[in-house]
Amino acid sequence: MRKIVILTGAGISAESGLGTFRDAGGLWSQYDLEEVATPDGFARNPTLVHDFYNARRANALNASPNAAHAALARLERDWPGEVVLITQNIDDLHERAGQRRVIHMHGELTGALCAECGAHWQAPPEMHADDPCPECGAAATRPDIVWFGEMPYDMDLIEKHIVSADLFAAIGTSGQVFPAAGFVMQANAAGVETVELNLEPSELSGMFDARHEGPATDVVPTWVSHLLGTA
Ligand code: BV8
């Protein structure tokens, strides 16, 4: 039975009240990306960066998964073939909706990392620059999040899944950030059927075999019901 590989972006969490990045009023219009989402920004002002992610961690904790997250968890449960979900999002709404297999290629708000020794641990609700690393004691605590200029997680695994998929779906992503924006090109080159679900056309819309346009809480459940009807 067919293998479905899904990539989600900020658009799937938009209706849960979590900000997107590039829509009007999005996060990158409120904060300077260079200051809060790059290693240099963190080195310059770790407190500003921790404040930025502490606020987003609190928002994510107070948010609830929406019908789109729930529909993808249902697809994973009821689809007779393999479903692999790759997300660019750092919130845990997919997991809280019941999704079991989630690859967080840009890291997670619930993760903490020591910039000194590389130790990973469960992030407390609030993190501060001078929190000592539980492993090496250094005050080099950072969110376990992939910033611009850093290599996303699980890239080899992700490539294996994309080229072996029968269907690749990109949901709620503007297709402006690489390497995630390149996945549809890898899928096309491997002869994988591709579909985009988005509120509006994205940078990459022309690269998909099919598109469903509308808010994720409408188009994702409809798309999942249609797929399951064909299972
Ligand atoms: C790397 C974690 C190399 C942080 C993120 C030129 C200059 C400098 C750099 C580059 C360059 N060209 C390419 C690069 C590399 C750079 C990049 O792509 N830059 C872009 C800006 C040009 N990429 C990187 O740096 C990556 N690393 O290249 O490393 C390397 C090589 C070898 C060895 C070492 C290193 C790392 C990228 C990861 C950065 N971290 N996130 C955080 O979250 O705070 S990326 C950031 O953008 C977000 O986190 C998000 O994950 C990602 C993509 O955004 P989207 O999810 O698509 O969200 P967006 O707001 O853009 O769009 C929302 C979409 O939803 C829209 O389409 C909208 O229509 C839709 N929508 C809205 N509402 C709804 C909806 N859809 C449905 N329903 C709705 N209701």
Residues 4 and 56 in one domain: no
Is 106 a pocket residue for ligand 1 (Cβ < 6 Å)? yes
Same domain, 203 and 163: yes
Of 128, 145, 162, which one is at a domain's C-terminal end?
145
The reply to whether 120 and 217 lie within a common domain is no
When the pLDDT of each residue in the chain is averaged and rounded to a whole number, the result is 96
Largest Cα separation within the chain, whole Å, is 55
- Same domain as 81, residue 49: no
Residue 141 and residue 42 share a domain: yes
Last residue of a domain, one of 89, 118, 145: 145
Cα 181 from Cα 50, distance rounded (Å): 27
The answer to whether residue 88 scores a pLDDT higher than 90 is: yes
Q: Say which range, 27-41, 159-173, 204-218, has the weakest mean pLDDT.
A: 27-41
Instruction: Decide whether any atom of ligand 1 lies within 6 Å of the 10 Cβ.
Output: yes
Q: How many C-beta atoms lie closer than 10 Å to residue 129's C-beta?
A: 16
Ligand 1 pocket test, pick from 20, 177, 208, 217 with the greatest ligand atom count within 8 Å of Cβ, gives 177
Per-residue pLDDT band for 123 (boundaries 50, 70, 90) equals very high
Q: Which position has the higher pLDDT, 24 or 124? A: 124
Task: Quote the pLDDT of residue 19.
Answer: 82
Domain that holds residue 42: 21-62+108-145
Please tell me the distance between residue 186's alpha carbon and the centre of ligand 1 in angstroms: 17
Tokens of 125: 């609700």
pLDDT at 76: 98
Quickly state the pLDDT bin for 213 (edges 50, 70, 90).
very high
What pLDDT score does 24 carry? Answer: 82
Which of 119, 145, 171 terminates a domain? The answer is 145
CB atoms within 10 A of CB 81: 12
Cα-to-centroid distance, 80 and ligand 1 (Å): 32
Q: Are strands 102-104 and 107-114 parallel, antiparallel or unpaired?
A: unpaired
Q: Look up residue 212 and give its two tokens.
A: 């469903």
pLDDT of the residue at 230: 78
CA-216 nearest atom, ligand 1: 78
Number of domains, the chain: 2
Calculate how far, in angstroms, residue 203's C-alpha sits from the geometric centre of ligand 1.
Answer: 12
Tens digits of residue pLDDT in 147-194:
999 999 999 999 999 999 999 999 999 999 999 999 999 999 999 999
Q: Evaluate if residue 229 carries a pLDDT over 90.
A: yes
pLDDT at 42: 96
Does residue 87's CB lie within 6 angstroms of at least one atom of ligand 1?
no
- What are 6-21's pLDDT values in tens digits? 999 999 999 999 988 8
Say how many Å lie between the CA of residue 228 and the centre of ligand 1. 30
Percent of the chain at pLDDT exceeding 90: 93
- For the domain that residue 168 is a member of, what is the CATH number? 3.40.50.1220
Residues 41 and 121 in one domain: yes
If asked whether residues 96 and 12 sit together in one domain, one would say yes
Work out the burial of residue 204: count CB atoms within 10 Å of its CB; fewer than 13 is exposed, 13-18 middle, 19 or more buried.
buried
Residues 36 and 125 in one domain: yes
One domain for residues 26 and 42:
yes
Q: Which two tokens stand for residue 228?
A: 């399951």
Share of the chain above pLDDT 70, in %: 100
Specify the CATH number for the domain of residue 141. 3.30.1600.10
Query: Which positions are catalytic?
Result: 106
- 121 and 222 in a single domain? The answer is no
Find out whether the beta carbon of 152 lies less than 6 Å from any atom of ligand 1: yes
**Residue 164 shares a structural domain with residue 218:** yes
Q: Are residues 11 and 117 in the same domain?
A: no
- Given this model, what pLDDT does residue 231 score? 73
Contact 133, 117 (CB under 8 A): yes
| Nearest ligand 1 atom, CA 89 | 51
